Homo-oligomer: A and B are copies of this chain.
Amino acid sequence: MIPALHPPASNAMPVGEIDTPALIVDLNAFDANLALMAERIATVPNVRLRAHAKTHKCPAIGRRQMELGAIGVCCQKVGEAQAMVAGGIDNVLVTNQIVGQRKIACLAALAKNAWIGVCVDHADNVEALSTGAVAAKTTLHVLVEINVGANRCGVDSPQAALDLAQRIQAAPGLRFAGLQAYQGSAQHKRAFAEREAAIAEAVRRTGETRTRLAQAAIDCPIVGGAGTGTFEFELNSGVYNELQAGSYIFMDADYGHNLDAHGQPEAQFKHSLFIYTTVMSTAAGHYVVDAGHKAHSADAGPPLVADFSNARYDRPSDDHGIITFTGDGPCPALGDKLRLIPGHCDPTVNLYDWLVGVRNDRVECVWQVTARGATR
């Protein structure tokens, strides 16, 4: 391994000695986020958390979520599922369609050692999954994905869902496991009422589909969906029974724009994830830091500067960014280290091989992001 890909820190090291850029996790905030989600979900009987591992890509965190009551994890890709199973997670739902013989063979092989679920929205894919499961002599648990308003994947009618469910029931190597009903586009609607309305519609469509299947004597063991932005609506819907929130563990600048029922920024979960970065030039009258596009994902805008209320991160290049300060107040010096709040946690975590857990100004743990880059 290239030395620079080694961990940026070791246990008990003072925070200031962590090499940069690095992702650090404020463990007090992180622990509080995990506990709060577990507590909320426990208020409604028969609803479980199936935390989305695409946020952390880290089996150590998935195991912690399961210790607190999660039934398993969600993944987006076969590679993520491989990393989770290799890291000791025995219950993984891939919340997408997996298409292609090579990918399906890998997925079916995983089912030798774990409960593996996957979603479908096309009859050809049911057949391909069945072929793969039979070849691997395993069983895949298959959910029908329905389009509940996000208009990405999923079938559009209860009848189409029923047709697929019946195909799954008839297919060797497969077991029908329920409905995938994720409303992704609702998560970042800023107004509480907009999120509420979007999920009300998703609940309506999902309930209607569940009823159609029940009329054909098909039970849905899993009705899955929800994210950090909307989970309380699905939690109390009476229809969903597995919630797939992921970002709640870290939060990010983008989620910070969501408003609660009173029009205030949603703040029940705390920022726990930070990019730690060093000021490496001050010659041009501003502060150039060593974190650019390769250290944070630009898709939801630039990171925020933590700890300095009068600072702004701007003009990112591949490997650097510029911090400007307005008004009076303390400014950093050459070599000082700062914390940035990522614009979007999931694709930012995917840029790092390590998460450095810190508490009381010391490194407490270093977790490997073993599914980093597992986009296949």
Contacts and interface: CB of A to CB of B under 8 A. Distances in A.
Interface of A: 2-5, 8, 17, 19-22, 54, 76-80, 82-83, 86, 96-100, 102-103, 106, 121-122, 124-125, 145, 147, 151-156, 184, 278-284, 288, 290-291, 293-295, 297-299, 315-320, 322, 334-335, 344, 346-347, 350-353, 370-376
12 contacts: A2-B86, A4-B83, A5-B373, A17-B102, A19-B100, A54-B318, A98-B280, A100-B335, A121-B281, A151-B284, A184-B317, A319-B375
B152 A288 contact: yes
Main secondary structure of the interface of A (DSSP, over half): loop
A126 to B, nearest CB: 12
Given A4-B77, A99-B279, A297-B298, 19 more contacts: A2-B82, A3-B79, A4-B78, A4-B79, A4-B80, A4-B82, A4-B375, A21-B376, A96-B281, A96-B319, A97-B280, A100-B335, A124-B335, A152-B322, A184-B317, A290-B375, A293-B346, A294-B350, A298-B299
A133 to B, nearest CB: 18
Given A2-B371, A86-B2, A156 B319 contact: no
A349 B98 CA distance: 24
Contacts of A155: 283
Interface centre among A122, A298, A320 (most CB of B within 10 A): A298
A317 B152 contact: yes
Nearest to A283: B121
B103 A19 contact: yes
Contacts of A77: 4, 290, 319
Contacts of A372: 373
Quick one: copies of this chain in the complex?
A: 2
Contacts of A184: 317
Most chain B C-beta atoms within 10 Å of own C-beta, residue among A77, A97, A154, A282: A97
A283 B79 CA distance: 24
A83 B2 contact: yes
A97 B280 CA distance: 6
Contacts of A154: 281, 283-284
Contacts of A152: 281, 284, 288, 315, 317, 320, 322
A344 to B, nearest CB: 7
B374 A319 contact: no
A335 B20 contact: no
B353 A373 contact: yes
Contacts of A334: 99, 122, 124-125
Top 6 A-B residue pairs of the complex, sorted by shortest distance between their CB atoms: A4-B79, A121-B283, A298-B299, A153-B281, A293-B347, A99-B280
Contacts of A282: 122
Contacts of A54: 318-319
